[in-house]
Structure 1
Amino acid sequence: MALYRTQAIVLRHCNMGEADRIITLLSREYGKIRAVARGVKRPRNRLIGGTQIFTYSEFLIFEGKNLDNISQCEIKESFFKIRDDLEKLTYASYMAELINEFLPEREKNEEVFFLFLKTLHWILKGNDIELIARFFEMKLLLLIGLLPYMESCVYCGGSLEEGEIYFNASMGGAVCSRCFRMGQESMQIERGTLKLMRSLAVIKFEQLALIKTSLNLKQELERVMRSYITYHLEKKLKSLEFLNKVKNKTMT
């Protein structure tokens, strides 16, 4: 039975029997992994700390026939302050679900690993968490080859510099006023929203603080991204319903 080490972030866990849990890991070396943490629900189990949601640890794992088994884990960063803050927890859970849904198992993607790790650090700083979420979505889509097309009309290739602008998830991006009827469910968007999308696709984390935008544009971009992500996943994410409740609570 093979034994291997990997650095990984806990994406999710689910109970298995009375004492065990199946842990879904985003690993640097092997991509998404599912492994069993035996006895982790028992008090004082040595795996409890390192298998908490969002914890970044170094794992020692035995390769199993059906599921691998976690033998040891050493915490590198617990991110416990994210788990202690409902808003941060909810946004991070949404991002973790995105990764879990989009990434196949055992397909290495070191860039996505570092994107999520850095995003967790930025969530800890507590800045504009909604803008961080949009940045994360755009970068994740870029890394997995699903970034929406925004440079010209995705249908005819024409310029978007004049006239009304639309976005169509099924067509894959921005659509001009001449072509928006070609696809179903095109939504009209502000020129500022398109500009914001283009910016988020190319800037680095450190440049996020330079982005100045209105609440209306952020809300419109959220609607655009949700329609696009839902189209590609062909379902709504479970974390979105709870995220909506948390957002509505913070606004009241």
Structure 2
Amino acid sequence: MLEKWEGIVLRTNDYGETNKIVTMLTREKGKKAAVARGAKKTNSRLSGVTQPFTHGYFLVQGGKGLGTMQQGEALDSMRHIREDLLKTAYAAYIVELTDRTTEDGQAGAPLFELVRKSLAYINDGVDPAIVTNIFEMKMLSQAGLRPELSSCAVCGEMEGRFGFSIRENGLICHRCFEKDPYYLPLSPAAIRLLRLFYFFDLDRLGTIDVKESTKKELRAAISMYYDEYAGLYLKSRRFLEQMERFEDVFKKDETDD
């Protein structure tokens, strides 16, 4: 049976000398894989459309086991991501996080739209660090994680100074800091953005300007939480952290000059 999927290429694996196994997140079927025969050849009609991050339509011949990709039509190649190493690092992290937290055939249109919009924002020049933070917060439920961000995880208070507690699985207010001596202090701006990123609709993302110091707070809190609760080792994240450190050094050198 021939099926048409709208999909985003998450990753590819070599299959023989000239073929690829292409893993996609599709709108219709969730995460699916198909063999793209000859796609490793530079002159193949499937070569370009099976590049990571590509959003397109794919005709797949089904059957038991892996289907076979017959045709592909790129809707967006995410060219600007591919031309920028830092954008590529963020996009690679997004698709690997999606891949590792999603089973074959799992998920569908809502997750597909989240991934598509996130990559499109990065491709269009929106701050990739902020887009990625929003994506990470939205993906917590996909990974089965639900931190308490609307009020203090200990006493339920909604007003006061807050920090982030791994032990208590969310925010804790100043009245409860003693419950976790290892809580992560966060500025009011970082607290507000954590809540915003978790609850708001990505469609509403407009121009957003976040201080570098606040970005570092967000990165620390989100990374700590994923490390503690998700149990994922992502190669793309390690590469992204290296790129972020390089960017920090580059910006510092520019400031010193």
Give the alignment's TM-score, normalised by structure 2: 0.87
Q: Is the 8 A contact 1:8 1:25 kept in 2?
A: yes
Q: Is the 8 A contact 1:90 1:242 kept in 2?
A: yes
- The residue correspondences of 1:2-41 to structure 2 (distance < 5 A) are 2-41=1-40
Of residues 191, 200, 213, the one that matches 1:194 is 191
Shift of 1:17: 2.0
Question: Partner residue of 1:111?
Answer: 110
Is residue 2:240 matched to residue 1:243?
yes
Shift of 1:207: 4.4
In 2, the alpha carbon distance for the partners of 1:18 and 1:181 equals: 60
Q: Is the 8 A contact 1:11 1:100 kept in 2?
A: yes
In 2, the alpha carbon distance for the partners of 1:16 and 1:230 equals: 32
Q: Which deviates the most, 208-217 or 27-36?
A: 208-217
Q: Is the 8 A contact 2:163 2:171 kept in 1?
A: yes
Q: Is the 8 A contact 1:50 1:75 kept in 2?
A: yes
Letter in 2 for 1:248: R
In 1, the alpha carbon distance for the partners of 2:28 and 2:223 equals: 30
Shift of 1:27: 0.2
- The residue correspondences of 1:116-155 to structure 2 (distance < 5 A) are 116-142=115-141, 146-155=145-154
In 2, the alpha carbon distance for the partners of 1:173 and 1:212 equals: 25
Q: Percent identity?
A: 34
In 2, the alpha carbon distance for the partners of 1:236 and 1:107 equals: 21
Give the alignment's TM-score, normalised by structure 1: 0.88
Letter in 1 for 2:104: E
Letter in 2 for 1:225: I
Q: Is the 8 A contact 2:118 2:135 kept in 1?
A: yes
Shift of 1:236: 2.5
Question: Partner residue of 1:162?
Answer: 160
Q: Structure 1's 92 and 184: CA in aligned 2 closer, same or farther, altered over 3 A?
A: farther
3-state SS, counterpart of residue 50 of structure 1? coil
Shift of 1:183: 6.1
Question: Partner residue of 1:88?
Answer: 87
Q: What CA RMSD, in Å, does the superposition of the two structures yield over aligned residues?
A: 2.3
For 1:73-128, what per-residue CA distance to the aligned partner results, in whole angstroms no more than 9, with x for missing partners?
A: 11111112211111111111111011111122102321111111111221122132
Question: Partner residue of 1:57?
Answer: 56
Runs of 5+ consecutive residues of structure 1 not aligned to the other structure: none
Question: Partner residue of 1:72?
Answer: 71
In 2, the alpha carbon distance for the partners of 1:235 and 1:135 equals: 18
Is residue 2:218 matched to residue 1:221?
yes
In 2, the alpha carbon distance for the partners of 1:33 and 1:221 equals: 32
In 2, the alpha carbon distance for the partners of 1:244 and 1:17 equals: 33
In 2, the alpha carbon distance for the partners of 1:96 and 1:7 equals: 16
Q: Is the 8 A contact 2:80 2:123 kept in 1?
A: yes
Q: Which deviates the most, 45-54 or 35-44?
A: 35-44
Q: Which deviates the most, 113-122 or 133-142?
A: 133-142
Runs of 5+ consecutive residues of structure 2 not aligned to the other structure: 251-257
In 2, the alpha carbon distance for the partners of 1:237 and 1:171 equals: 25
